[in-house]
């Protein structure tokens, strides 16, 4: 009889130990928090404009936009959008210095929301340069056509592209036209039979210039 009670007591103690262990295990398990791995979505804040035919590309803020330009459209803007004359400025240039400016190949303009071409932070004009004129020789013939030209005063020397820089591995020279709104910086780069003219205005324009490269 006593032996039977002893076995029963041991059995009850075993059951208590098992139940207690299970209870502790469940409490510890419920105390472990789920660890989640955050998913990071990277949204690009810049866009890339690439022009394979003219051989260059650059990046610009998503708040800006890029449009391709032409001499005809430039002339229309100069004339207030009322005159369609492709050769207006080219004709005026030739009538003044008795030769035409370099052959126009293409252009791209970075615009802000207002779409003010005159205040565009970054503009690229590309001309044919079959004789591979140096930057100095090109400037003496064409100034910064179509933005600045025909000035034979001493002021011309003050804005000439004489300051050197390296852009996309190429020698560049620039000058600052401080008498125009925004004090635009004009940069010339001669490469592969073409003359690249970059017009840069303000900090935004400088940011775009830092990304300009040849392709």
pLDDT (tens digit per residue) in 152-172: 999 999 999 999 999 999 999
Which pLDDT value is given to residue 20? 53
Q: Is 202 exposed, middle or buried (0-12, 13-18, 19+ CB in 10 A)?
A: middle
Residue 79: pLDDT band (50, 70, 90) is confident
What six digits make up the tokens of 215?
Answer: 């392709």
- Which residue's structure tokens are 């001309």? 127
The angle that helices 88-97 and 71-78 make with each other, rounded to 10 degrees, is 80
Cβ atoms of 187 and 173 closer than 8 Å: yes
Higher pLDDT, residue 11 or 135: 135
Which pLDDT value is given to residue 27? 52
Residues in the chain: 215
Interatomic CA distance for residues 166 and 128, integer angstroms: 21
């Amino acid at each position: 009889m006593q032996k039977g009670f002893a076995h029963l007591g041991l059995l009850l103690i075993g059951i208590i130990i098992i139940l207690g262990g299970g209870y502790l295990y469940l409490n510890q398990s419920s105390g472990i928090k789920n660890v989640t791995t955050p998913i990071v979505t990277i949204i690009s804040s810049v866009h890339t404009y690439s022009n394979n035919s003219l051989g260059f590309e650059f990046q610009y803020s998503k708040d800006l936009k890029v449009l391709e330009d032409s001499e005809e459209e430039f002339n229309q803007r100069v004339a207030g959008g009322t005159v369609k004359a492709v050769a207006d400025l080219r004709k005026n240039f030739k009538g003044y210095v008795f030769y035409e400016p370099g052959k126009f190949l293409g252009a791209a303009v970075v615009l802000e929301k207002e779409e003010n071409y005159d205040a565009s932070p970054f503009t690229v004009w590309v001309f044919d340069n079959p004789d591979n004129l140096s930057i100095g020789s090109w400037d003496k013939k064409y100034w910064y056509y179509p933005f600045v030209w025909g000035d034979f005063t001493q002021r011309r020397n003050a804005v000439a592209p004489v300051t050197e820089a390296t852009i996309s591995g190429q020698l560049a020279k620039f000058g600052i036209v401080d008498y125009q709104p925004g004090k635009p910086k004009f940069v010339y780069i001669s490469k592969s039979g073409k003359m690249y003219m970059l017009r840069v205005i303000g900090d935004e324009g400088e940011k775009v210039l830092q990304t300009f490269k040849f392709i």
